[in-house]
């Protein structure tokens, strides 16, 4: 396939999730291991997941997780008491298996609905090295 | 200001950057310290920056960096020989100082041009805890 842009980026915001899954460090870490495998992306770091303490009415706490893929990344932030999750899957491949990613998140965190933004990144990415 | 969504996410793809800045681990790490300060975001991890070895004609190598902010993040991926950088600044505040961010990246990496995608995230984010 002719590459006409740098990469593909899926932003997923999910609602009505399971408080126990959204509040599970292991579930989030596991997702950061599984998703790159499912999508054929090469991890170059181990996933890092950090607990976020409650800060105010809006941010009532959760977890933030991240993994660096070869020149791209996956991130997951959860707000367990709000049933909310906001995730990014960014690949330098020209497209992403959107359906597979959406199903994975819905299933893993028992999300009732999702909101998707899908962006083609780097529309003028050079085909050759410049330097 | 009335919060009508979860957060704001700026995706910046930059072209024609300086090979030496794009290839400098220190410059990238420094940006991941400075940007949260400039934007009033609270870092909850130290920035992590990883060298990415060349893999193919498209991916001729660079650096990937990431920092977790309180329930959001900043990421930077560089492809030094292509003069290219792709960055994400995601905040749980309702909006971002776009001009400030764009100027910072242009100045720091000597980018000739940028491509911007700006997304309001979590349009149905619950105002109160559900659980």
Report pLDDT digits (tens) over B24-71.
999 999 999 999 999 999 999 999 999 998 888 888 889 999 999 987
Half-sphere exposure of A47 (CA within 13 A, CB side): 22
Q: Does the structural domain A7-109 have CATH classification 3.60.90.10?
A: yes
Cα–Cα distance list, B50 to A36, B64, B65 (Å): 18, 5, 6
Report pLDDT digits (tens) over A46-105.
999 999 988 888 888 899 999 999 879 999 999 999 999 999 999 998 899 999 999 999
Q: Is A109 on the interface with B (CB under 8 A)?
A: no
DSSP state for residue A8 in the 8-state scheme: E
CB A28 within 8 A of CB A18: no
Shortest Cα distance from A43 to chain B (angstroms)? 11
Tokens of A79: 């707000």
- CATH, domain range B7-117: 3.60.90.10
CB B121 within 8 A of CB B90: yes
> Is A92 marked active-site?
yes
Residues 85-104 on B with a CB inside 8 Å of A are 86, 88, 90, 92
Using DSSP's 3-state secondary structure scheme, residue A114 falls into strand
> Is A72 marked active-site?
yes
Using DSSP's 3-state secondary structure scheme, residue A97 falls into coil
Contact B64 A83 (CB under 8 A): no
User: What is the reported pLDDT for B57?
Assistant: 84
Cα–Cα distance list, B56 to A31, A36, A44, B60 (Å): 27, 19, 16, 6
């Amino acid at each position: 396939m002719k590459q006409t842009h740098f990469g593909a980026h899926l932003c997923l915001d999910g609602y009505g999730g399971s408080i126990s899954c959204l509040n599970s460090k292991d579930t989030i870490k596991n997702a950061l291991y599984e998703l790159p495998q499912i999508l054929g992306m090469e991890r170059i770091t181990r996933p890092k997941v950090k607990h976020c303490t409650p800060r105010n009415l809006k941010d009532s706490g959760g977890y933030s997780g991240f993994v660096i893929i070869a020149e791209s990344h996956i991130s997951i932030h959860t707000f367990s008491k709000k049933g909310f999750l906001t995730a990014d899957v960014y690949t330098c491949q020209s497209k992403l298996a959107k359906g597979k990613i959406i199903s994975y998140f819905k299933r893993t965190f028992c999300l009732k609905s999702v909101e998707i933004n899908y962006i083609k990144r780097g529309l003028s990415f050079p085909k050759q090295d410049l330097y």
